[in-house]
Structure 1
Amino acid sequence: MPSPKPRRSPKPQERQRDPERTRQLILDAAEAEFAAHGFKGARTAAIATRAGVNQQLISYYFEGKEGLYQAMSQRWQARQRDLVPPETPLDEQLRRYALEATHNPDGVRLMAWGGLEYSGPDSDPDHAPRAKMLERSVEELRAMQAAGRLPAELDPATLLVMLMAAAMAPTTLPHVIEGVCGTDPRTPEFIDHFAGQVALLVQMLGRASE
């Protein structure tokens, strides 16, 4: 087996560019590439081309494709904190997550690809941080249930999965929506309507526990 080629450091002129801007260019390009092809199908050469940078910069800044994927996850967690600050009501959380299909469709596609490619924790480079993040969401649902704001019969972990699937449906099930609803699921008008319906569903769950 041939020995791997040594990793080349970027040329001095490549390092002189704004590091943070370069990182963001690479992350934006990676999100589009991973959303189109999944983690397994994405190529760092294609990401570099999209970003307009030398491919070696991906190794320089992110230690390769897996590190880049994990950096995108960290960026999403930062986005999530802005999207749904603490104390945001659950129905409003779901409405905002559903609206991401308009504002950040590649992020939703990335999550969908992760599921399609999943064959166990070892196949998922973002498994541990995502599990930790989702456990916090489950704990929030448990606290709501303990406070009498959700029906006692519901399993909070299963409920979280169902709510996530509902919020992602305009991206993951556009063919079903078009067949059932008779409309283009990608239009901002439909997504806004759909987000409101998801929020209403959560509100009705709360009323059912009263």
Structure 2
Amino acid sequence: MPRRSPDATERKRDPERTKARILEAATAEFAAKGYAAARVSAIADRAGVNKQLISYYFGGKEGLYRELSGRWRQQGGQLTEGPLAEVVRGFVRSTREQRDWARLMVWQNVSGDDMPDEGDADFLRAQVEALRARQEAGEIPPDLDPACLLLALTAAASATLFMPRMAHRITGQDPDTDEFAEHYAEQLARLVRHFT
């Protein structure tokens, strides 16, 4: 059979869809291997694109990480509205829904990967200041250090991701299920309500 020539709509490229596939593939590759070990060629293979498109759209691996980091900060910023217990519940759910990004954060913290810091430190300092403002408004007891509180709540919200065996041994439940994630989110929110 002769090859059919694609029509004009089939030939048209969709750069936004291509970028989205690349970002999704980069998140998965970084989560699986860490920033340092991730390779642009592997990201391109996962996305089903030519690796030159990664340089064209993002300027390479570091640009991909910058873009993903910016999206994480934007999403994280959207989760900080409302009572602190609900904020914590939202972060537990976000960790469950965005597992690859959460795994990348674990990699970044335990592997010593030299990842670019594209505003992450500023974002986290802003989160500390937001907790300090909550404290001044009386939502958080005055004897708690907002920086230590942020660290503790961040670790607690992502505990089932980086300690799944311990979570299973302690609770007897599968921490990788939606049911457990909801139960854990509710329990963590209750804990926070006790001191807010």
What's the TM-score, normalizing by structure 1?
0.83
Q: Distance in 2 between matches of 1:79 and 1:148?
A: 26
Query: Could you say which residue in structure 2 is the equivalent of 1:94?
Result: 88
Q: Distance in 1 between matches of 2:137 and 2:77?
A: 24
Match of 1:157 among 147, 166, 175: 147
Structure 2 CA distance for partners of 1:81 and 1:148, relative to 1, 3 Å: closer
Query: Could you say which residue in structure 1 is the equivalent of 2:8?
Result: none
Structure 2 portions without partners, runs of 5+: 1-10
Q: Deviations over 1:10-46 (max 9, x none)?
A: xxxxx96211111111000000111111101111111
Q: Is the 8 A contact 2:69 2:118 kept in 1?
A: no
Q: Distance in 1 between matches of 2:131 and 2:29?
A: 34
Q: Distance in 1 between matches of 2:49 and 2:86?
A: 39
Structure 2 CA distance for partners of 1:162 and 1:47, relative to 1, 3 Å: same
Corresponding letter in the other structure for 2:33? H
Give the match's secondary structure for 1:154. Answer: coil
1:112 and 2:106 are equivalent in the alignment = yes
Query: Could you say which residue in structure 2 is the equivalent of 1:27?
Result: 23
Alignment of 1:49-198 (within 5 A): 49-82=45-78, 84=79, 87-118=81-112, 123-125=114-116, 127-198=117-188
Deviation at 1:101, TM superposition (A): 3.2
Superposition RMSD in Å:
1.6
Query: Could you say which residue in structure 2 is the equivalent of 1:202?
Result: 192
Deviation at 1:96, TM superposition (A): 0.9
Q: Distance in 1 between matches of 2:12 and 2:59?
A: 19
Alignment of 1:31-46 (within 5 A): 31-46=27-42
Corresponding letter in the other structure for 1:186? D
Corresponding letter in the other structure for 2:30? F
Deviation at 1:132, TM superposition (A): 0.9
Give the match's secondary structure for 2:65. Answer: helix
Deviation at 1:79, TM superposition (A): 2.6
Structure 2 CA distance for partners of 1:27 and 1:185, relative to 1, 3 Å: same
Deviates more, 1:31-40 or 1:128-137: 128-137
Q: Percent identity?
A: 48
The runs of 4+ residues in structure 1 deviating greater than 3 Å are none
Q: Deviations over 1:57-103 (max 9, x none)?
A: 11111111111111111122233344x26x32211111011012331
Q: Is the 8 A contact 1:150 1:205 kept in 2?
A: yes
What's the TM-score, normalizing by structure 2?
0.89
Q: Distance in 2 between matches of 1:17 and 1:180?
A: 51
Deviation at 1:130, TM superposition (A): 0.8
Structure 2 CA distance for partners of 1:105 and 1:88, relative to 1, 3 Å: same
Deviation at 1:110, TM superposition (A): 1.1
Give the match's secondary structure for 1:88. Answer: coil
Aligned residues: 186
Q: Distance in 2 between matches of 1:81 and 1:143?
A: 15
Q: Is the 8 A contact 1:101 1:191 kept in 2?
A: no
Q: Distance in 1 between matches of 2:12 and 2:162?
A: 41
